[in-house]
Every structure is written in C-alpha cells, then in structure tokens.
A = this chain, B = another copy of it.
C-alpha cells in the first residue's frame, strides 16, 4: 500500500476478472444464500431471472478477493523495489451498495476500484480515510455491482 499522501483522487485500478461457473454459484448459495434461483437450474428458469444467477453476496465477496490479490501483488512489487510499505488498516464499512444486473453462469465480471475521496482521520492521526467507488462490469460492458468502500491508510511518518 502506498502512503495516504501518495494517493490521488481519480486513481483507478483494474483488479482482474472472474468467470462464474454453475458449480461455484450453487456452492456459495448453499452456504450463504439458499434461494432456489441461486441453487437450481430448473427453479431459476421458472423465476423472473430466467436462468441460474449468482448471489449478489457472492459477487461482492469476489470483488474483495480480487482487491486483496491486487493489493498483495502491488505490495510485493514495491517490496522488490525496496520501497517502504504503508499499512492498510481495517475498513470501517461501506455504503450505497447496488446490485444492478444479474450475474449468470458464464458471465465474466471485471472488477475495478477508483479513489473518490481522501481525508485525514481527525480522531486517529496515524491514519487517512480513503473512499473508493468499487465496481464489477460484465462482458457486455454493463455495471452489475457498485459500492463506495472505505479504508484506513497509514499516513507518511512525520509527513
């Protein structure tokens, strides 16, 4: 992670993509969102969605996986260059999550994150607050998920 002072509003990262399979859609749903249109092709075909679709909670969990892998690869590259790494603190939460389109079997979702706001934490001088607009977009270019995430990012020591 870069230090808070080195991040700019408008910075955008493409976090990678994922193609959803029927098996993983059903497996996630069985664990966390056991609704028929996430678990059974025939029930989904008879539903308003018309075909098996991923739980929205599955899509957002995969956004997180891609964001973390991206962050870890960035950190490794910075470490290899001998650069100091800022600490990424806990996320206080997020807001305005929208599930905009269904995600069907075979859909490829590309995940991204764009910094939309930066402000120092008033109560915790070690940290800055970074807000990002986080998205998933399908192969047709349609946004399927969007939310405003927040994270604490370490400020430059003595900065």
Give the contact-size bracket for chain A: 20 to 34
| Binary contact track A43-65/B, C-beta < 8 Å → 1, others 0 | 00000100000011100111011
Assembly stoichiometry (copies): 2
Q: Are B99 and A97 in contact (CB under 8 A)?
A: no
- Among A6-14, A88-96, A110-118, the stretch that binds chain B is A88-96
A35 to B89, CA, bound (A): 11
Interface residues of A (CB under 8 A from B): 31-35, 48, 55-57, 60-62, 64-65, 68-69, 72, 89-99, 147
Q: Are B93 and A34 in contact (CB under 8 A)?
A: no
Is chain A's interface secondary structure helix, strand, loop, or mixed overall? Answer: mixed
The 3 A-B pairs at the shortest CB distance, nearest first, are namely: A93-B98, A32-B61, A93-B97
- Given A32-B65, A33-B68, output 7 extra A-B contacts at Cβ < 8 Å: A31-B65, A33-B64, A34-B69, A34-B72, A55-B64, A93-B99, A95-B96
Q: Are A90 and B99 in contact (CB under 8 A)?
A: yes
A69 to B31, CA, bound (A): 11
Q: Are B68 and A35 in contact (CB under 8 A)?
A: yes
Task: Determine the chain B residues whose CB is within 8 A of the CB of A93 once the complex forms.
Answer: 56, 96-99, 147
Q: What residue in chain B is nearest A66 (Cβ atoms)?
A: B32
Q: What residue in chain B is nearest A67 (Cβ atoms)?
A: B33
Q: What residue in chain B is nearest A53 (Cβ atoms)?
A: B90
Q: Contacts A94-B97, A95-B95, A95-B96: A57 and B61 contacting too (C-beta < 8 A)?
A: yes
Q: What residue in chain B is nearest A89 (Cβ atoms)?
A: B48
Q: Are A91 and B99 in contact (CB under 8 A)?
A: yes
